[in-house]
Every structure is written in C-alpha cells, then in structure tokens.
Structure 1
Amino acid sequence: MKIRIISSREEINSIRSNERAVHLAFRASNVDFLNLIQKAPRLQMVQVPTSYMKTMSNAIEVFLDMQGIELLQGDVWGHRKDLDEYFTIEDETIEEIKSLAASGTNMDDVTNRIQQKTRLNPDLIKFISKNKIIA
C-alpha cells in the first residue's frame, strides 16, 4: 500500500486522480481538502498529524465522512520525501494485519503487535484491517 505524501498546497495540483491514500504534511484549510477531493475522486483515506487534527474544522470532518473518506491522525515516521513521494507499507505487514484481524484477534492486540514490529500508527492499522486493501 502506498500513501502519497503531500507537503504543500501546491502539490495538491500534481497528484494523480487515482490516489486512494494521502498524508497531508501541512496544515490544510477547508479549501485544500475540497481541492484534494476534486483532484483525487477515488480517495479513501486522508491522514493528518495529530497536532493538525486538533485545529481542523468540524465541517470538513463531516464533509469527508459524507464522501466516504476516512480521516486518520498520525505521522509517517522516518520517511524522506526528497527520496520518494510515497510512504510504502510492505505487503507482508498488510497480510499480517489482515490475517490477525481475520483470526478474531482483538483489534487492540492486533494494533499492539503490529506497532511493535513497525512504526505504523493505530488509526492506520485499523484502517488497513477493515478495508479491502490488496497487498
């Protein structure tokens, strides 16, 4: 699974229309979210840092929910945007999350186990476990 890292408003115009997951590494306004949705109509998930989540308007949260887009909080640890514009989650990690969730393991246990091996945040692990992400 690849998450497109967007680090400025200007980058919204350069994303592909088939992007499904993005991480906003800047404090996005409501207009930025609207532009993002117009540019990437297949979007399923937007991740923002926890500190930005606290200052977001409720209106954009409701709007994203109405569009069927999940809003997650978290960071992409250790990613260097100058080397790659995508943060990649390994197929093995996705398969492990899916198999643990399918086996009936408690979601908190799944999250704890995966976090010990990777630096993925809990919201992202839960998103992967409940959505049809193909590894």
Structure 2
Amino acid sequence: MKIRVVSSKEEINDLTDKEEMVHLAFRPSNTDILTIVTKCPEEKALHIPPSYMKSISRSTRMFLEMRGIPLIEGDVWGHRKDINEYSEVSESIFERIDQYRKEGLSDEEIEAKMDREMHMGPDLLRFILKNRK
C-alpha cells in the first residue's frame, strides 16, 4: 500500500487521480481537503499527523464521512520525501495479518500484537485490518 506524502499546499496540484491514500504533512485547510478529494476520486483515506487532527473542522469531517473517506491519525516516521514521494506499507505487514488470521486471532488481538511489533499508528493499523478482509 502506497501513501502519497504531501508536504505543502503547492504539492496538491501534483496529485493524480489514482491516489488512494494521502498523508498531509502540513496543516490543511478545508479547501485543501476538498481539493484533494475532488482531484483524487479513488481516495480511500486521508492520513494526518496527530497535531493537525484537532484543526480539522466539523464540517470537513462530516464531508469526508459522507464520502466514505476516513480521517486517519498518524505519522510517516523515517520517510525521506527527497528520495520518494510515497511512503509504503510493507508487504510483510499484510503477510503478518494473514498469518495471524489463519491462527484464529481477532482483529483486536492482531492490532494489539502488531502495535507492539511494528510500531504502526493504531488508526492506520485498524484501517488496514478493516480493508484486508
């Protein structure tokens, strides 16, 4: 799973209509979020740092909810945008989820185990578990 990292308002113009998940590394306005959702019709989620989450308006949250686009809290640790504009969720994470499900673990148990092992944000992990059925 690729997460497109957007560091500034100007980079919104570089997004393609194929983007499925965008991480906003700046404090977005309502207009920025509307532009992203309009420009990326296949958007499945927006990933936002915890410090910016509180500044997202109620109307924008309702708009995203109506569009079925979750707002996921988290960071992309260790990502170097100068090397790659995408942060990638490793295939090993998906393999680990599949392995735990074969062992009969519930999503809550998988989330607890992987939170300790992988140091992923809980919102992103829940999103992956929900969409990996």
TM-score, L = length of structure 2: 0.91
Over the aligned positions, Cα root-mean-square deviation in angstroms equals: 1.7
Q: 1:60 to 1:113 in 2, by over 3 A?
A: same
Secondary structure at the residue paired with 1:112? helix
Gaps of 5+ in 1: none
Give, in whole Å, the separation in 2 of the partners of 1:87 and 1:8. Answer: 16
Indicate the residue corresponding to 2:53 in structure 1: 53
Change (3 A) 1:76 1:122: same
In structure 2, what is the equivalent of residue 63 of structure 1?
63
Unaligned residue ranges in structure 2 (runs of 5+): none
SS at match of 2:124: helix
> Is 2:14 the partner of 1:14?
yes
Q: Is 1:127 aligned to 2:127, yes or no?
A: yes
Structure 2 residue aligned with 1:81: 81
After superposing the two structures, state which structure 1 stretch, 103-112 or 52-61, moved more: 103-112
Contact 1:24 1:48 in 2 (8 A): yes
How far off its partner does 1:20 sit?
Answer: 0.4
Q: What is the match of residue 114 of structure 1?
A: 114
Contact 1:16 1:39 in 2 (8 A): yes
What is the number of residues matched between the two proteins?
Answer: 133
Deviation at 1:92, TM superposition (A): 1.6
Cα distance in 2 for partners of 1:18, 1:116 equals 32
Q: Cα offset for 1:95? A: 2.5
Identity fraction in percent:
42
Q: Which residue of 1 aligns with 2:41?
A: 41
CA distance in 2 between counterparts of 1:100 and 1:69 reads 27
Aligned-partner SS, 1:46? strand
Say if 1:6 and 1:101 are closer, same or farther in 2 by CA, change over 3 A: farther
Query: Shift of the alpha carbon at 1:102?
Result: 6.3
Deviation at 1:26, TM superposition (A): 0.3
**Secondary structure of the corresponding residue to residue 94 of structure 2:** helix
